[in-house]
Chain A
Amino acid sequence: MSAPIDPAVRIQREDFDLAKESTALCAGRSDVGALVTFSGLCRDEAGTLAALELEHYPGMAEAEIRRIARQAAERWPLNALTVIHRYGKIRPGENIVLVLAASRHRQAAFDAAAFIMDFLKTRAPFWKKEHHADGSEGGWVEARDVDDEATQRWHKSPPPDR
């Protein structure tokens, strides 16, 4: 296997464009057979949520996501990898996070994207605060045990050699 690729990681307030990012990732290359695109969006929680305020730890947010992305690039044969995470006020329907994983075959791309999201949820220093639609300030979103459990599966079985 050739040397792992260097992932592109961006932490930004602005929105991102899925189509534009996918096109940019694959531009000028013809070795990609599978491109998995995961985007996480802000839900409206049945109309009760006006916005999420995403706080982050500047510096560490990028460093930690880069550490996770590099682990994915070492573990699976990826051609290209982009991770973008937004911060600031995000309204229902808007994008929060984007993972683009490109590989020769689909399984590596699927697994790498899932791996990155599982670890990003529990290790990337971001915190969500809710703003309710009725104008009241909601609380901080609580971390979920299922997110912790989701990271465990990656310790159980090493990926088959591809």
Chain B
Amino acid sequence: MKLVYFAWVRERIGHAEEEIDLPDEIVTVADLLAWLAGRGEGYEIALKHASAIRVAINQEHVAHDARIEGAREIALFPPMTGG
């Protein structure tokens, strides 16, 4: 599964994307965020306030209770500030 990061999430984690094999027990976006936060200091800092993190699966916005089954690409990023 491909994970991509943007803005300060990318900066804190330390890279823009990675391929990850997820354990079977990771079912929802919330599970993924909690699991990722345990992968190292950068992840922990980036994902400390999990509720602030916005998530897209296959380039569409999803809520934290969304299931990640079938996802090709999951993106994590801060609230958007375009326009």
Q: Which residues from chain A sit less than 8 Å from chain B, CB to CB?
A: 40, 54-57, 59-61, 63-64, 85, 96-97, 117, 120-129, 140-143
CB of B80 within 8 A of CB of A59, answer: no
A120 to chain B, nearest CB (A): 5
Q: With the chains together, A126 CA to B82 CA distance in Å? A: 5
Q: List 27 A-B contacts (CB under 8 A).
A: A54-B82, A55-B6, A55-B7, A57-B6, A59-B59, A60-B59, A63-B60, A64-B60, A85-B82, A96-B82, A97-B83, A120-B82, A122-B80, A123-B61, A123-B80, A125-B82, A126-B82, A127-B6, A127-B7, A128-B81, A128-B82, A129-B7, A140-B81, A141-B81, A142-B81, A143-B78, A143-B81
Q: How far is the CA of A127 from the CA of B75 in the complex (A)?
A: 14
Contact of B77 (CB < 8 Å), options: A85, A125, A128: A125
A117→B82 CA distance, assembly (Å):
10
Count how many pairs of residues, one from A and one from B, have CB atoms less than 8 Å apart in the complex.
Answer: 74
Q: Are A120 and B83 in contact (CB under 8 A)?
A: yes
Is residue B79 contacting chain A, with contact meaning CB distance below 8 A?
yes
